[in-house]
Amino acid sequence: MSDTLYIQTDKNVEVHQPHVYLQDIAQLACSNSKILNRYRVMPVVNLTPDQPGRYVMAITDIIDQIQKKNENLDVTHIGEPTFIITYEVEKHAHKAFSYLKTLLVCLMSFFGTAFSIMTFNNDVDVSTLFEDIYMQFTGRPTDGFTVLEASYSLGIGLGVLFFFNHFGRKKITQDPTPMQVQMRMYEDDVDTTVIEQLEREEKQECGSK
């Protein structure tokens, strides 16, 4: 009975070295430890060291490499048939520079959010609405600093906190935040577009020949 090598791949895998081995881009499983250790260090591709970016690969090419080395080995693939290798060079940035970037992002987010809230309030004329409500319930004109304004301001802060499910380094629940969900959807869309674009270019090249 021949051994079976199981290979599981994700749609996008990140590497930081130009010399990519099978264990860098896939999860492997095999009952034969010798076979498992042998193919973990099997070279897959040598990328250009000074050209980081996205590289598309097909699992069929890897399976062909494996079976050329061992024709009697059964290979079972689980996961994406076409995947992306994202090659990024590790950058050791100074802590001061990292803190500065974080501060700039926080300031941009804070003032951008404040501007959006103010423009929304002016667009729907929240101040006039509060004046009318206060006048109807109390019979007196508002001075602009009442329980309505205070509760509204507090509600915005709590609403943002609960919506983003995040406060500092702590999460209120274990669910992913809306920002994480949106970023994941964006990454999936980018990966799908890159793969489809390459497949389209290959079809055009084959058609021209």
pLDDT tens-digit readout, 73-126: 899 999 888 899 999 887 666 778 888 888 898 899 889 888 988 898 888 888
Residue 202, token pair as written in the block: 């290959």
Q: Is residue 202 part of a domain?
A: no
Are residues 133 and 117 part of one domain?
A: no
pLDDT tens-digit readout, 151-199: 888 888 888 777 777 666 677 777 777 777 888 898 888 888 888 887 7
157-162, long-range: CB within 8 Å, 24+ apart, which pairs? 160/113
Counting the structural domains of the chain, the total is 3
| One-letter amino acid for residue 77 of the chain | H
Q: At 29, phi and psi to the nearest 5?
A: -150, 135
| Average of per-residue pLDDT across 148-153 | 86
155, with CB counted inside 10 A (0-12, 13-18, 19+), is exposed
Are residues 45 and 109 part of one domain?
A: no
pLDDT at 23 over 90: yes
CATH code of 15's domain: 2.60.480.10
Q: Is residue 197 part of a domain?
A: no
Are residues 76 and 30 part of one domain?
A: yes
pLDDT at 6 over 90: yes
Q: Which domain, by its residues, includes 11?
A: 4-87
The pLDDT of residue 92 is 62
CA distances to 78, 122, 123 from 5, in Å: 11, 63, 62
Q: Is residue 207 part of a domain?
A: no
Beta bridge partners of 167: 170
Are residues 179 and 133 part of one domain?
A: yes
Query: Under 8 Å CB-to-CB from 45, ≥6 apart: which residues?
Result: 20, 55, 57, 85
